[in-house]
Chains A and B, each alone.
Chain A
Amino acid sequence: MEQFLQQIASGLANGAIYACVALALVMIYVSTDHINFAQGEMAMFSTYISWQLMTWGLSFWVAFILAVVFSFVLGVIIERAILRPLHNAPVLSIVVVFIGLLAICNSMAGAIWSYLIKEFPSPFPKSSFGIAGVIGPHQLGVVMVTLIVLGLLFIFFRYTPLGLAMRAAAQNPQMARLVGVRVDWMLALGWGLAAAVGAVAGIMVAHIVYLDPNMMGGILLYAFASALVGGIGNPGGAVVGGFIVGVLENMVAYAGNQIEKATGIYIIGNGEKLTVALIIVITVLTVKPAGLFGRVVVKRV
């Protein structure tokens, strides 16, 4: 039983990470219809920035905030400089550019900081944090930080004029222009926020998966699965999808473990995590493309 609870708790911690990256993907998707294949690598790069700042002597949280701000600016710049001119380009061109970004982020991180795996600190106090036997201090901290970030984002989008303008620009860009919203800047801002949320996920997960240029590959795949499960056009769904997929991932491994214990037959375990994500992605895409919470807007004329 305790092991079961542990699995759920660690699933929620993973889920929090997936939720953040999935939300980043969805934020860009709803406003531009693009799937940012470089989202994970951008987050990885930001994580290295925070690591670098820490090795220069800054404290974890200062480095965290600076790296997140850096990511925001980088996201805005990438949208304005690279994607804006291609807005009417064919899908293939857009996809190719994202893959180009992925390759650049990955190889630059390798070039600057090398491909050696690095330890990454946890900012959460070991003794007083966590619930013994259920959830470790870092995992609990990850869940809390991501929930705070997601809550702030919710408040921003729901209750501020700028958030409203961004939602309007994403939903109906033409009309948003007709009420004076500078839609191009809203898209860039969306990119910046997405990059920032991704950075939060990267910095939070680095202590668990260790820091290396390929750390986000699997997480990105899970984030895709999460976004799809929640409905790729639905930010709230992406967050819930993240937690669902995070728990599901651990449950599958747990069930596989139990089966192996009981019958001695190995079916599935931690080694098949990416395969599980692949199956989720393809199943959702083909069977239920709108996802579990795919919002269907009632349109009446």
Chain B
Amino acid sequence: MAALLEVKGLKAFYGQTQSLYDVGFEIPDGGITTLLGANGAGKTTTLRAICNMVRTDGTIRFDGKDIAGQATEEIVRLRIAHVPEGRGTFTTLTVDENLRIAAYTRRDKAAAHADLERVFGYFPRLKERIQQQAGTLSGGEQQMLAIARALMLRPRLMLLDEPSFGLAPLIVQEIFRILKRINEDDKVSILLVEQNAALALDLATHAYVLETGRVVMSGPSSVVKNDENVRKSYLGY
């Protein structure tokens, strides 16, 4: 499998503070890759760096083309969907508007309409609440909305930042089931950042472990899962 996203020597800075030192990884086309790490390891920053939302340095190649330094909105238009930490809900817009805004850049209006129906297939609950102000949705519903909105961009790659954060276990399971379907049925490659390492390793095919802004280990999930350090530090057994 060819790499869809290829990151080499990635550095990132917040003001004067450097938070990523030489991060490198590859995301295979069609796969699910996860980034593991403790708080402050640089997982979120890595996702933000891919979309140029922090000051970065290094090479980021998407589908063979260098995208480093391009404006966030232009990167998104290459069909990289970023589901940010905290879900990024447009709270004063309705659910419908939250979804339609993601189709704003698309020229294929008919296909976008079909996508909307498909997204409602994944998340029937959103259809029930279609005219509701998005800020009034529950946390789980907002997370679903965020993923649904990302799907409306018809992404090739989806970046997910802590989709399980603050949600009840049942809802987390539901969301992860849907992510798997999105990956398999819609051929969307996924880069998943997750605190819940066990869950992430079950879903992902590949895993990278970050520590203080550096990749310290990587490999197929099955291998990483059985590594002793990973077990002790992230899986807790």
A interface, CB within 8 angstroms of B: 161, 164-165, 167-168, 171-172, 174-183, 295, 297-301
- 11 A-B residue contacts at CB 8 Å? A161-B104, A164-B93, A165-B104, A167-B93, A171-B92, A178-B84, A179-B153, A182-B71, A297-B91, A298-B136, A301-B166
B101: chain A residues within 8 A (beta carbon) = 164-165, 168, 176, 179, 181
Q: Known contacts being A171-B92, A178-B88, A180-B73, is A297 close to B135, with CB within 8 Å? A: yes
Which chain A residue has the least Cβ–Cβ distance from B76?
A180
Contact of B136 among A175, A179, A300 (CB under 8 A): A300
Q: Known contacts being A167-B93, A168-B90, is A179 close to B135, with CB within 8 Å? A: no
| Interface 0/1 of B129-158, CB less than 8 Å to A | 000010111110000000001000100000
Minimum distance in angstroms from A88 CB to a CB of chain B = 12
CA distance A164 to B105 in the complex (A): 12
Contact of B139 among A168, A295, A301 (CB under 8 A): A301
CA distance A164 to B93 in the complex (A): 9
Minimum distance in angstroms from B8 CB to a CB of chain A = 24
CB-based contact A175/B51 at 8 Å: no
CB-based contact B136/A164 at 8 Å: no
Q: Known contacts being A175-B88, A179-B76, A182-B73, is A300 close to B93, with CB within 8 Å? A: no
CA distance A174 to B104 in the complex (A): 16
Taking the complex as formed, is B181 at the interface, i.e. its CB lies under 8 A from any CB of chain A?
no
Minimum distance in angstroms from B79 CB to a CB of chain A = 9
A177: chain B residues within 8 A (beta carbon) = 53, 71-73, 76
Minimum distance in angstroms from B75 CB to a CB of chain A = 9
CB-based contact A164/B100 at 8 Å: yes
Contact of B135 among A174, A178, A182, A298 (CB under 8 A): A298
CA distance A239 to B177 in the complex (A): 47
Number of A-B residue pairs, CB cutoff 8 Å, is 84
CA distance A178 to B161 in the complex (A): 13
Contact of A172 among B53, B88, B102, B137 (CB under 8 A): B88
Contact of B104 among A179, A295, A300, A301 (CB under 8 A): A179
Taking the complex as formed, is B77 at the interface, i.e. its CB lies under 8 A from any CB of chain A?
yes
CB-based contact B104/A297 at 8 Å: no
| Interface 0/1 of B71-111, CB less than 8 Å to A | 11100110001101000111111000100111011000000
CB-based contact A180/B105 at 8 Å: yes
CB-based contact A300/B88 at 8 Å: no
CB-based contact A180/B135 at 8 Å: no
CB-based contact A178/B76 at 8 Å: yes
Contact of B90 among A172, A295, A298, A299 (CB under 8 A): A172
B100: chain A residues within 8 A (beta carbon) = 161, 164
Which chain B residue has the least Cβ–Cβ distance from A161?
B104
Which chain A residue has the least Cβ–Cβ distance from B136?
A298
CB-based contact B104/A180 at 8 Å: yes
Minimum distance in angstroms from B190 CB to a CB of chain A = 16
CA distance A168 to B77 in the complex (A): 16
A174: chain B residues within 8 A (beta carbon) = 53, 84, 88
B77: chain A residues within 8 A (beta carbon) = 180
CB-based contact B102/A179 at 8 Å: yes
CA distance A174 to B72 in the complex (A): 9
Contact of A178 among B82, B93, B97, B138 (CB under 8 A): B82
CA distance A298 to B71 in the complex (A): 32
A298: chain B residues within 8 A (beta carbon) = 133, 135-136
B91: chain A residues within 8 A (beta carbon) = 171-172, 297, 299
A168: chain B residues within 8 A (beta carbon) = 90, 93, 97, 101
Which chain B residue has the least Cβ–Cβ distance from A233?
B92
Which chain A residue has the least Cβ–Cβ distance from B167?
A301
Minimum distance in angstroms from A91 CB to a CB of chain B = 20
CA distance A167 to B92 in the complex (A): 9
5 nearest CB pairs, A to B: A175-B88, A180-B105, A177-B72, A180-B76, A179-B102
